[in-house]
Amino acid sequence: MTHSSRAIRIQAYGGPEQLELVHTEVGEPGPGEIRIRHHAVGLNYIDVYQRTGLYGNPLPLALGMEGAGVVEAVGEGVSHLQVGDRAAYASQPPGSYCERRVMPAKCVCKLPDAISFDEGAAMMLKGLTTQYLLRQTQPQGGLKAGDFILFHAAAGGVGLIACQWAKAMGLQMIGTAGSDDKCALARELGASHTINYRSEDFVARVKAITGGQGVKAVYDSVGADTFMKSLDCLQPFGLLATYGNASGKVPPLDIGVLAAKGSLYVTRPTLFTHIATRERTQAMADDLFAMVTSGQVKIRIDQRYKLEDVAQAHRDLEARKTTGCTILTV
Ligand code: NDP
């Protein structure tokens, strides 16, 4: 038996105009899989990289890495989910821009009753990313209360979760953002200092804020525009986690630069290594759910679009018009 589903696909890489609404038939889950009926789907900047071909996914391509809904059917060998469960996920392969899908169960987690479908859809990829960045991607000796970190794009989806999470950890987070309004929002949500990196020299400001010392860690998702300057914001032995490319891919690095700038560390992490097993995924999700249900992290959904309006959602995200999280309603 099959079930109909509206879904978004691309046949070729390119701009938002490549996103097309199609009608598909979804079957029964196989071993290790579930079928989920989405209530909402999360929009992420990685969806833009996949649409433009930056990550080279095979075509035709169903987009979307995040969603929340109700489990409709469970395949053989899946024991952590049952039909009727409320659930949410961040997962590979892409394909969450749809009403229902069959997908691997290992990345899907039961959603606590206190968290809405919209919040679940908005927060899994961005919240699990913040979890592994702030808790698991730390400089030598770890991060302690009072330490300075620099977090770029602090008013975005990942960024506003990070502002709150860093504050809960007692960190002094310097957040960058592309307008004064975005900077004010990041401060409201927990950044101790902000820098409008379109109008100010963020290296000089970081040096001034930290009394010339620099920060222990930089979390950089902007990529090409910020990478080298991010290195200049670090203390000796500091860590740069470069985890995104919103402004373009980071050019190849002459590794000797890391010695010259003070025995620095650079890592290029991805969420999908961190959530490769069911056990890791659940442990990270439990931490995220605790941060949200305790009220320490609020999931701000600042934009909502219908599934069929996904092209406009992509245009707004790429034009830097959005703040916080964006969801598609299905
Ligand atoms: P955001 O909501 O943060 O949107 C991206 C933001 O990047 C924009 O709002 C903008 O903020 C900033 N930006 C800076 N330069 C540019 C540019 N040239 N074009 C467009 N935007 C620019 O997106 P997400 O929360 O979905 O993701 C944040 C980042 O984290 C992305 O780069 C994403 O790829 C990365 N990521 C990486 C993961 C990993 O595991 N490696 C997992 C999840 C996300 P402003 O105007 O304030 O500069």
Nearest to 6 by CA among 275, 262, 20: 20
Residue 133 domain-assigned (yes or no):
no
Same domain, 303 and 234: no
Same domain, 22 and 60: yes
**What does the alpha-carbon distance between residue 69 and residue 115 come to, in Å, rounded to a whole number?**
12
Residue-wise pLDDT tens digits, 272-315: 999 999 999 999 999 999 999 999 999 999 999 999 999 999 99
Residue-wise pLDDT tens digits, 94-134: 999 999 999 999 999 999 999 999 999 999 999 999 999 99
What backbone torsions phi and psi does residue 235 show, to the nearest 5 degrees? -70, 165
- DSSP 8-state class, residue 263: S
Same domain, 262 and 279: no
Identify which of 66, 96, 158 to mutate to test ligand 1's pocket (most ligand atoms within 8 A of the CB): 158
Question: Residue 24 C-alpha to ligand 1 middle, in angstroms?
Answer: 31
Residue-wise pLDDT tens digits, 16-53: 999 999 999 999 999 999 999 999 999 999 999 999 99
Which tokens in the block code for residue 239? 């860590």
H, E, C per residue of 62-108: ECCCEEEEEEEEECCCCCCCCCCCEEEEECCCCCCCECEEEEECCCE
Ligand 1 atom 48: residue of nearest CA: 178
Bridge partners (DSSP) of residue 7 are 22, 98
Identify which of 134, 320, 322 to mutate to test ligand 1's pocket (most ligand atoms within 8 A of the CB): 320
Nearest to 174 by CA among 209, 144, 226, 222: 209
Overall pTM surpassing 0.90 (yes/no) = yes
Strands 148-151 and 234-242: unpaired
Which of residues 234, 268, 302 is at a domain's end?
Answer: 268
Question: Residue 285 C-alpha to ligand 1 middle, in angstroms?
Answer: 21
How many other CB atoms are found less than 10 A from the CB of residue 83? 11
Q: How confident is the model at residue 242 (pLDDT cuts 50, 70, 90)?
A: very high
**What does the alpha-carbon distance between residue 321 and residue 313 come to, in Å, rounded to a whole number?**
10
What value does the mean pLDDT of the chain take?
98
Residue 131 domain-assigned (yes or no):
no
Ligand 1: nearest atom to the Cα of 243: 41
Tell me the HSE value of 133 on the side-chain side, using a 13 A CA sphere.
29
What backbone torsions phi and psi does residue 13 show, to the nearest 5 degrees? -70, 150
Ligand 1 atom 27: residue of nearest CA: 45
Same domain, 313 and 208: no
Which of residues 268, 286, 308 is at a domain's end?
Answer: 268
Residue-wise pLDDT tens digits, 147-182: 999 999 999 999 999 999 999 999 999 999 999 999
Which tokens in the block code for residue 299? 């999931």
User: Residue 105 sits in a domain of what CATH number?
Assistant: 3.90.180.10
Same domain, 161 and 264: yes
The four Cα atoms 70, 95, 91, 80 give a dihedral, to 10 degrees, of: 30
Same domain, 261 and 286: no
Q: Alpha carbon of 232 to those of 213, 214, 218, 238: distances in Å?
A: 11, 8, 10, 10
**Which residues neighbour 239 within 8 Å (Cβ) at sequence distance 6 or greater?**
137, 138, 139, 140, 216, 217, 218, 264, 265, 266, 267
Ligand 1 atom 8: residue of nearest CA: 320
| Domain span at 187 | 138-268
How many other CB atoms are found less than 10 A from the CB of residue 254? 8
Residue-wise pLDDT tens digits, 212-234: 999 999 999 999 999 999 999 99
Number of domains into which the chain is organized? 2
Nearest to 69 by CA among 111, 20, 14: 111
Same domain, 143 and 113: no
Question: Residue 248 C-alpha to ligand 1 middle, in angstroms?
Answer: 11
Q: How confident is the model at residue 1 (pLDDT cuts 50, 70, 90)?
A: confident
Residue-wise pLDDT tens digits, 55-93: 999 999 999 999 999 999 999 999 999 999 999 999 989
**pLDDT attached to residue 312:** 98
Question: Residue 47 C-alpha to ligand 1 middle, in angstroms?
Answer: 11
